[in-house]
Structure 1
Amino acid sequence: MKNIFDKTVTEELINRIHQLDTNAAPKWGKMSVGQMLAHCCVTYEFIYDNTHPKPKGLKKWMLKTFVKKIVTNEKPYKKNGRTAPEFIMTSAKAFETEKERLTKFLLKTQALGGSHFDQKESHSFGKLNRNEWNNMFYKHLDHHLNQFGV
């Protein structure tokens, strides 16, 4: 798995994002390109914006017990997989706004570096090591950029 905390990898991802345009169509799924970018921003909103309530009780247990392994391992996501309600985008999203937000989140994450995230508490999965954070960040974004052919 590529290391999102490496400046070269972050630049590669940003370059892929900049290859998108408002007419980009998905190879699978229903999201528009603006919705996909907003969807990818949710991961970073959990960390930086504190706009989503933390899961509690049974939901938190299910996320830590079952979902964490899927999200943080190196196995690529399947096409048309299920997603958490917070990630579902039903309204139109402004392409340029979402592209800029995602780029800023990537730059901030890379600047903080892997050591900042090592053993940091995640929104949904408890403490993650730097490799788990990296896999979660990189795998999700790579999956959706591939969805739109970049």
Structure 2
Amino acid sequence: MNWKNLFDENETQQTIERINNLTSETKGLWGKMSVAQMMAHCNVAYEIVYTDKHPKPNAFARLMVKLFVKNIVVGDKPYKKNSPTSPIFKMTTEKDFEVEKKRLVDHLIKTKELGPKYYNGRNNPAFGSLTDEQWNTLFSKHLEHHLTQFGV
């Protein structure tokens, strides 16, 4: 499947427009997260790149993730509904809709502005070095899954 190129101005803007169609009352078509939790969950993928907020997996965990998860995350196939997630992505407390929405849009803009050269060969703490295409798939596929989950 071809995922949106989030390094492209138009495709980033299309994704932002979908996010802007969400409201604090938007309900998911599956799963347990609120819309605010979903956006906080999506923000974790960007926090891994832009902050040191989340713990890095140990060597054994990295090996297991590379062997069993990496191809699911950066591969072409869409995620299945109700797929398991890493503990750092689990949202167990309520989140502020407007705060998470602004953060998500800001992350998309920053990613587009930094461009593919910034990401090509950049290390992911769980998966190791990724190409810019793999980073784009990681971000784009994840957003597609959750924006579809919330009907936008």
TM-score for both structures, normalised by structure 2: 0.97
| Offset from partner CA, 1:19-41 (integer Å, 9 cap, x none) | 00011000000000000000000
Alpha-carbon distance in structure 2 between the residues aligned to 1:16 and 1:140: 14
Listed as ranges, the matches of 1:7-26 within 5 Å are 7-26=9-28
Q: Which residue of 2 aligns with 1:108?
A: 110
Identity, % of aligned pairs? 49
RMSD over equivalenced CA pairs, Å: 0.7
1:123 shift after superposition: 2.0
Q: What CA distance in whole angstroms lies between the structure 2 residues aligned with 1:82 and 1:149?
A: 20
2: CA distance, partners of 1:142 / 1:123: 22
Q: Matched residues in 1 for 2:30 and 2:139: separation?
A: 21
Task: State how far apart, in whole Å, the 1-side matches of 2:31 and 2:133 are.
Answer: 28
Aligned to 1:137: 139
1:80 aligns with 2:85: no
Alpha-carbon shift at residue 57 of structure 1 (Å): 2.0
Say which of 121, 131, 139 aligns to 2:123.
121
- Which residue of structure 2 aligns with residue 94 of structure 1? 96
Within the candidate set 35, 56, 76, 1:54 is matched to 56
> For 2:129 and 2:68, how far apart are their aligned partners in 1?
15
Q: Which TM-score applies when normalising by structure 1?
A: 0.98
Unaligned 5+ segments in structure 2 are none
- Partner Cα separation in structure 2 for residue 147 and residue 137 of structure 1: 15
